[in-house]
Structure 1
Amino acid sequence: MKLDENGYKLIASFEGLELEPYLCSANVPTIGYGNTFYPNGRKVTLKDHPITKAYAIEILRFVADLFAKDVSSLIKSKVTQNQFNTLVSFAYNVGTDIDADDIPEGLGDSTLLKMVNKNPNDKAIVAELLKWNKAKGKVVTGLTNRRIKEGQNYFIP
């Protein structure tokens, strides 16, 4: 599957737009719509120049499409477009965790993914999303709010 326009808008609405580099809640240099790297692979630094809104949108689409490709490879069940958009939004925020270990550091090894692959319409998915509301071990209100909205979006037909 691929993101649709609503998927890009969903991610942008959660990330917000910052044209100058800043430190996110996890203390990682970030720019645009929550991006930590540019399309050329270079990591964002706090010394980078400001970017335009048009370039921020370009970066968002490029990075979101990378996450969409990964999420598509992880999902083994039939999901709706809104479910897919939500899972890409989640992965965009926490990562896809496509690696060889079983440690849940993102979507790939998560109980959330196991639940989606078992039954993508399981209402307990909302509660599972809510478990991912921390940065550096501390609950972040913005992440809690994001997970609540992602849970709502996930079940829009």
Structure 2
Amino acid sequence: MSYTVKAKLDTWFKSSPVQGSSLDDDEKEFFKAGTEFEIAAYAAEGNHLKITLSKDEQGQQIFIQGRNTWYLYEEAIELLNNGQVVDLNQPTPATTGAGVSGNLPRSGVELIKEFEGYAKELPDGRAEAYADPIHGWQVPTIGYGTTVYPDGSKVKQGDVITREQAEEYLIDHIEHSTRSVLEQIPTWGKMNDNQRGAIYSFAYNLGAAFYGNSGFQSITRVCDSPELWKDKAWITEQFVKYRNPGTFAEAGLRRRREAEADLFCS
């Protein structure tokens, strides 16, 4: 299937599902009416569509301002499948009858939970909505980073959920934002659950459309080298390249990459 998004009205590619006027210039890009872009995956989030851009004819990932994942206001765009308008009230292509929890390796979910964190926990173990660190209460957030519930409604200030619900919402987001893209990796069918779990964590952190694209040669090589999957030293060396050296985040990213490599080789 070939999916594209077409602007019906002048609108914005946005880094988050908020009013375009509230975003800085590096957090949005003008999307002129009549223009189309190919996409690799999409998921409805409230009144926005979260999309992952596809690759160009040379097989290179398409980026806009260095990003391959953006939000689009649904009323301003059309989603097309081979030229035919898609009803956005229907399930997204990442949805299956098996239910989201049946499609993801438990090991990967647990690793993502560990590094994403369960925010603003109350004394009884439930989680309360909190303001997004960057956008404040324009993007109310809850649990493991949920901003939109699976039914499409937005998180609101004052919302409280259980830990079980937080995990359910996280799984739904992982499922819809990464699975259909990762399944396109040629060796995906050869990977065991722990290997897939490690790749899910990597993709959730750095973007699902990494395979074969500029800046991701090392992790692509990991995916393409089944004969080296038992070589833990080599696998770890490739993973830890993605740690943003010299930044405040380096130590935490190194720990995450090492944990992903450990899981991949276990």
TM-score under structure 1 normalisation? 0.71
Structure 1 match to 2:81 = none
Structure 1 residues 1-157: aligned runs within 5 Å: 2-18=103-119, 19=127, 20-23=129-132, 27=134, 31-35=142-146, 37-39=148-150, 48-52=157-161, 53-66=163-176, 67-76=178-187, 78-97=190-209, 102-104=213-215, 109-119=216-226, 121=229, 122-123=231-232, 124-134=234-244, 138-140=247-249, 141-156=251-266
Contact map agreement 1:130 1:147 (CA 8 A) in 2: yes
Runs (5+) with no aligned partner, structure 1: none
Show CA shifts across 1:62-99 (max 9, x none).
Answer: 01222233222224251121000110011111111269
Show CA shifts across 1:87-119 (max 9, x none).
Answer: 0011111111269x9444xxxx54302331233
Rounded Cα–Cα distance in structure 1 between residues aligned with 2:254 and 2:151? 32
Pairs aligned (count): 146
Matched position secondary structure for 1:134: coil
In proportion to residue count, which structure has more strand?
Answer: 2
Rounded Cα–Cα distance in structure 1 between residues aligned with 2:158 and 2:106? 28
Show CA shifts across 1:18-76 (max 9, x none).
Answer: 1333556xx476542244554356787xx744441233112111012222332222242
* Aligned-pair identity (%): 28
In proportion to residue count, which structure has more helix?
Answer: 1
Show CA shifts across 1:104-157 (max 9, x none).
Answer: 4xxxx543023312336154221121122239x72512221111111111100x
Rounded Cα–Cα distance in structure 1 between residues aligned with 2:182 and 2:217? 12
Distance 1:41 1:98, change over 3 A: farther
Matched position secondary structure for 2:169: helix
User: Quick one: higher RCO (CA 8 Å, sep 6+), 1 or 2?
Assistant: 1
Q: Which has the larger displacement, 142-151 or 89-98?
A: 89-98
